[in-house]
Amino acid sequence: MMPLAMAKPGERVEVKEIAVGVGGKSRLASMGLRVGDKLEIISNDGHGRLILGHECTRLAMGRGIAQKILVSLSNAPADAICKDES
């Protein structure tokens, strides 16, 4: 496992542990982020925020909170595949 903040752009990861307080867990849950979710790293330049692909949306997350989310690399696709159904 590693902190989410260490994941590289293009990698897919699975959330294994969220090591924040109750308020932080509640905030992340309100954004739809929970243990077991799969994420794609869209942007992580090593400074500032990360941009994550999660369930047909993109999330921006500060590096501090990303250090407290433990993930493992995953070959699985992101949780949802979004298709234009027109």
| CATH code where residue 55 lies | 2.30.30.90
Domain count, the chain: 1
Q: Please identify which residue in the block is written with the tokens 């500060």.
A: 62
**73 three-state secondary structure:** strand
Is the pLDDT assigned to residue 82 strictly greater than 70? Answer: no
* Domain carrying residue 40: 2-73
What pLDDT, on the 0 to 100 scale, is given for residue 85? Answer: 46
Does residue 83 lie within any of the structural domains? no
Residue 86 pLDDT greater than 60, yes or no: no
Tell me how crowded residue 69 is: count the other CB atoms within 10 A of its CB. Answer: 26
Q: What is the pLDDT of residues 9-65, one digit of tens each?
A: 999 999 999 999 888 888 899 988 999 999 999 999 988 999 999 888 899 999 999
